[in-house]
Amino acid sequence: MPSASSLPRPIAISLGDPAGIGPEVIAKAWDAREREALPPFFVVGDARAFAQVWQGPVRLIGDPLEAEAAFGDALPCLQVSEAGEIVPGQPSLDGARCAFQSLEAATGLVRAESASALVTAPISKSQLAQVGFTHPGQTEFVAERCGVSRGNVVMMLAGPSLRVVPLTIHIPYTEVPEALTATLIRSRALATARGLKRLFGIERPRLAMAGLNPHAGENGLLGDEEQTLITPVLDQLREEGLDISGPHSPDALFTPRARALYDAALCCYHDQALIPIKALDFDEGVNITLGLPIVRTSPDHGTAFDLAGKDQAHPGAMIAAIRMAQQAELNRRAWVDPCLPS
């Protein structure tokens, strides 16, 4: 019988771009499986990608059910596509197609409950765009496959020291003020609180909201978005019972004393969120998607083509993504939605 800390099925890891560091960090995570007490996992993709960067054992499996038995002796791999000629550091369109098919297959396996959770290795968005991938990133693709609209999923970056949610993501800074709306702030705050309860087991989440402007606007001297937009939304959320503070001066929100007062910080734009999380937790940062019916995590780094094939890639973020996927799925299974009848 599975223990309270075990999952009923192994975790599925999509290969990512085979020419990036994905194969290397996955292989190194398998090498560290006992030391890090990692749950069983298997890779979906082209097994040949590992031979280019690793001398360890790989075992082809035909079904996710075979992964757990193989995991102790070899890295299980479910072959779904061939990536053509694989040269570390040299992305190709065949490799991009492999990454696309790997992501699609791994997502389907988790949705079908053949795997417990999904971990996605890094992809190249520019390469994928050339092979018919029309989504901004993996988050939006997984959301669509799960039947969830883009507006209802939240990208959280989480590490041992900090959790952050960027309210706007991959847009130019000049477009941020217009994109930052009351509806967006409200929906992201509520989804973050729900995600902290459901996936992190935090019963009463504490949120903190960063201001948009330096010194949170300095009472309107350096910008008035805090007074005209952010504060009214936060006041309404507090009236509804949400524990949310702010808007805070962004330059003071990530100090050790400040971080002790909240469970997650809402940030107005991409770099406001990602600079502190990468500065504090670069080797253990995880991208986790909130709002999905499944658990999906990813290491918070890219393909790093310049490092591929040089045995220099650090597996810490991949190990953290696997561990967080395990714990989030256990929390999800234990969580009782108070909105549903008992």
Length of the chain: 342
Query: Whole-angstrom Cα distance, residue 268 to residue 150?
Result: 18
Query: Whole-angstrom Cα distance, residue 150 to residue 59?
Result: 36
- Closest by CA position to 49, among listed 91, 107, 3: 91
The rounded Cα 105 to chain-centroid distance in angstroms is 18
40 and 68 in contact (C-beta within 8 Å)?
yes
Query: Whole-angstrom Cα distance, residue 132 to residue 129?
Result: 6
Tokens in use for 88?
A: 């570390």
| Cα three-residue angle 259-167-218, rounded to 5 degrees | 65
At 231 the pLDDT is: 97
**Domains within the chain, CATH numbers bracketed:** 1-148 (3.40.718.10), 154-291 (3.40.718.10)
342 residues of the chain, pLDDT tens digit each: 344 457 889 999 999 999 999 999 999 999 999 999 999 999 999 999 999 899 999 999 999 999 999 999 999 999 998 888 888 899 999 999 999 999 999 999 999 999 999 999 999 888 988 888 888 788 888 999 999 988 889 999 999 999 999 999 888 999 999 999 999 999 999 999 999 999 999 999 999 999 999 998 888 898 899 999 999 999 999 999 999 999 999 999 999 999 999 999 999 999 999 999 999 999 999 999 999 999 999 998 999 999 999 999 999 999 999 999 999 999 999 987 665 444
148 and 137 in contact (C-beta within 8 Å)?
no
Query: Whole-angstrom Cα distance, residue 200 to residue 192?
Result: 11
215 and 167 in contact (C-beta within 8 Å)?
no
At 338 the pLDDT is: 63
Q: Is the peptide bond before 64 cis (omega within 30 degrees of 0)?
A: no
Task: Report the SS3 class of residue 248.
Answer: strand
pLDDT tens-place string over residues 279-299: 999 999 999 999 999 999 999
What backbone phi and psi angles, to 5 degrees, belong to 249? -65, 120
At 341 the pLDDT is: 47
Task: Report the SS3 class of residue 42.
Answer: strand
At 84 the pLDDT is: 86
At 254 the pLDDT is: 97
At 151 the pLDDT is: 83
Query: Whole-angstrom Cα distance, residue 265 to residue 268?
Result: 10
At 5 the pLDDT is: 57
Place of tokens 């890891």: 13
37 membership: H or E segment, kind and range: none
What is the pTM assigned to this prediction? Answer: 0.92
